[in-house]
A = this chain, B = another copy of it.
Amino acid sequence: MTRTQARESARDILEIIPLVMRTIAAELRSAGELPAPAHFGLLSVLSARPRMLTDLASLQGVSLPTMSNSISAMVERGWVRRAAPEGDRRVVMIEVTATGRAALERVGRCAEAHLADVLAPVDLPSRRRLQAGLGVLRKVFASSASAPAARRRNRHGRRPYVS
């Protein structure tokens, strides 16, 4: 891909993705189902099988503390459970509860209903294009998320402003 093409795709992504995010978040919020979009993915992953915190964090591409906090929030909602595995007492396995599965099911239907509204006017060819584009995004970003960023901390003491 040429530099020009990368730039074009970059602009599109930076413009469109946040819009989609906001729209989805607003829909879920107004529906009263508040499991922030992030939690949905989490429940999906965990419903396949339990995972340890570190794995979850790297799967979702977030830091460990963030994942720890997210899980705490979900524990409070009763969606997941922190379990101690046999061997290594440092690790915490996260499991979905029955409540969590129900929530996943409910949110899935809710999101489906709302997305169905906005996707309704989409004809079949467009839908195929959508799916194909999403597939490309998945492939590209799923692989890059596993390598969480080579964290070069702040080039030249560029502190975040302050006046």
Contacts and interface: CB of A to CB of B under 8 A. Distances in A.
A24 B13 contact: yes
Interface string A53-89: 0000000111000000000000011000000000000
> Copy number in this complex?
2
Contacts of A149: 26-27, 30
B21 A134 contact: no
Contacts of A48: none
Contacts of A27: 149
Contact of A41 (B18, B108, B153): B18
Interface residues of A, number: 81
Contact of A129 (B22, B112, B133): B133
Contact of A61 (B17, B19, B38, B108): B19
A45 to B, nearest CB: 9
Contacts of A136: 122, 126-127, 129-130, 133
Interface string A139-160: 1111111001111111100101
A16 B141 contact: yes
Interface in A72-125: 76-77, 108, 111-112, 115-124
B14 A41 contact: yes
